[in-house]
Amino acid sequence: MALAPAVTAAIRSVDPEQPITDMRSMEKQIHNRAIGLNYMAALMGVFGAIALLLSAIGVYGVMSYLVSEQTHEIGLRMALGAARGSVMGMVLRRGLITTGIGLLVGLPLAFAFARLMASLIFGVAATDAVTFVSIPVALIMAATLAVYVPARRAMNIDPILALRYE
């Protein structure tokens, strides 16, 4: 911007009728163009976090319902000598297998759609390894946390109360 008066004088020497109204640096021009993309990226991040939270709540709800439906079976297993850790492992395994199946179906679809929309993703390749590794890891961590709470509750079921349940 220090050269703005000299640039204005040079333009006026060639064409005095040329209007010069809004002179900006290239850095400022690029910033003004990219600000919409920055807002869109932040908005997508917020929507992604909300989607992750909703998926964790959904997994928690399903697993909590399954544990409450299997209270009698879990109590019977514990009355017959099943260790608390094995009961917890059973519930965790069921939840994480379901999550794994969802990832096995979802990742190829996400990869296909990313390749389809590669022209719309700014600054990220369609086959970005960081994205295709970090998102499933975050989903697995959220699902593990969501399954852990019902598994912990299943581990603490009193066998006598569970056998009287029905």
Residue 5: what pLDDT? Answer: 79
Query: What is the rounded CA–CA span in Å between residue 53 and residue 163?
Result: 35
Least confident of 12-16, 85-89, 135-139: 12-16
Place of tokens 């590794």: 133
Contact 45, 54 (CB under 8 A): no
Query: Tokens representing 160?
Result: 């006598």
Query: What is the rounded CA–CA span in Å between residue 128 and residue 57?
Result: 28
Query: What is the rounded CA–CA span in Å between residue 34 and residue 27?
Result: 11
Query: What is the rounded CA–CA span in Å between residue 166 and residue 163?
Result: 7
Residue 124: what pLDDT? Answer: 62
- On the question of pLDDT at 135 being above 60, the answer is yes
Query: Tokens representing 139?
Result: 């989903």
49-97, pLDDT tens digit by residue?
999 899 889 888 988 898 888 888 888 888 888 888 888 888 889 888 9
Residues 109-118, mean pLDDT to the nearest whole number? 82
Name the pTM for this structure: 0.68
Residues 106-130, mean pLDDT to the nearest whole number? 78
- On the question of pLDDT at 126 being above 80, the answer is no
Q: What is the DSSP letter of 153?
A: H
b/e code 112-136 from CB counts within 10 Å (16+ = b): eebeeeeeeeeeeebeeeeeeeebb
